[in-house]
Amino acid sequence: MTTVTLHIGAVKTGTTFVQSVLSANQPTLTALGVLWPGPTWRAQVDAVNGLRGQEGSSFARWTDLVEQIDAWEGTDAIVSMEFLSLMSRANVHRAIDSLSRHRVRVVLTVRDIVRAIPAQWQESVQNGFSWSYHEYLAGVTAKRPRTTRAGQHFWNKQDWPRILEPWTERLGPDDVVVVTVPPPGAPPGLLWLRFCEAVGLPADQFDASFRANESLGAASAEVMRHVTRQANAASVGNATMQVIKRVLAKQMLSAHRSAEPSLVLPEAHRPWAVTRSRRLVESMQTVPATVVGDLDDLRPRAGTVTGAVTTDPATLPSEELLAAAAHGLVAVCDALAHDAPARPKGGRG
């Protein structure tokens, strides 16, 4: 019997960092008797989308992944895909049933909402939404947030007790693990240490020197909002939207982050954040789960951001937005120039 750890998210809680470390250290995992199903992490994405019944995906992909685990002769297997945190109760039970030959454990990484809200907004404008940060905040902090699209978008991904509920119906507290993302100023690598403690890996045997999937700077995020709005107006296809996200945002604009102010929660929302965080932590204390880290890491902390900040990217000076846009355009053109085939001599300019 293999112990199968499902790292289910949550979104924007260091999942990309963890996945990068695991993917790059496959030989180490194999030597330790741990399966990282593949051949690439994309296979895990496809498998989870198939399990969720996403359009264009096949449940056969999840079946293929389970067959890899069934055939594994080692002690452990790890699957890390944050969309597992967005599944219906029926699909959660379906996942557990499909792995009935094995011990199933679930790991949920969680991050304080003061940092999660701006991170979630800037991620949303890379994924087809064009609401302003002000509009997003209004939905997230509304008295009945789930009656708004923005509120649903955030709380479906960050309501940790609700995410864990269908898993705890089937798994005991030793097999449901909550890992808290360390607060700002924590020692580098602490998240990886906590994840390894949760899944039983020797952290010192891995190369964890990977850059996390950091949020964009505020100006670049606002540029992305306008790009997304224009892309939606032009009815571009999914392939184009993926280029906008994965090339323009993740590769090009992210490199401009240090030249831009960071996006933070407005001070006027801090009392709400303190109260909402307290309620979340109290709810988490009643969840039958093992905690790695400290639930106090989920409470808002003052003065955790250094450098220039803004609470409304829509009000940034036009020069800052133009600088971010120009950086992105030049970077994209430079990449295209290096990828394009050489122009034949004598060709017309």
Cis peptide before 39 (omega within 30 of 0): yes
Q: What pLDDT, on the 0 to 100 scale, is given for residue 80?
A: 98
Q: What pLDDT, on the 0 to 100 scale, is given for residue 212?
A: 65
What whole-number distance in Å separates Cα of residue 223 and Cα of residue 235?
18
Q: What pLDDT, on the 0 to 100 scale, is given for residue 349?
A: 40
Q: What pLDDT, on the 0 to 100 scale, is given for residue 301?
A: 84
Q: What pLDDT, on the 0 to 100 scale, is given for residue 157?
A: 97
- For the domain covering 3-113+158-213+269-303, report its CATH number: 3.40.50.300
DSSP E strand stretches across 198-275: 262-263
pTM of the model: 0.93
Q: Which positions of the chain have pLDDT values less than 50?
A: 344, 346-349
Contact between residue 139 and residue 149 where contact means Cβ atoms under 8 Å apart: yes
What whole-number distance in Å separates Cα of residue 252 and Cα of residue 101?
45
What whole-number distance in Å separates Cα of residue 195 and Cα of residue 204?
12
Residue extents of the structural domains in the chain: 3-113+158-213+269-303
Q: What is the β-pairing status of strands 176-180 and 76-80?
A: unpaired
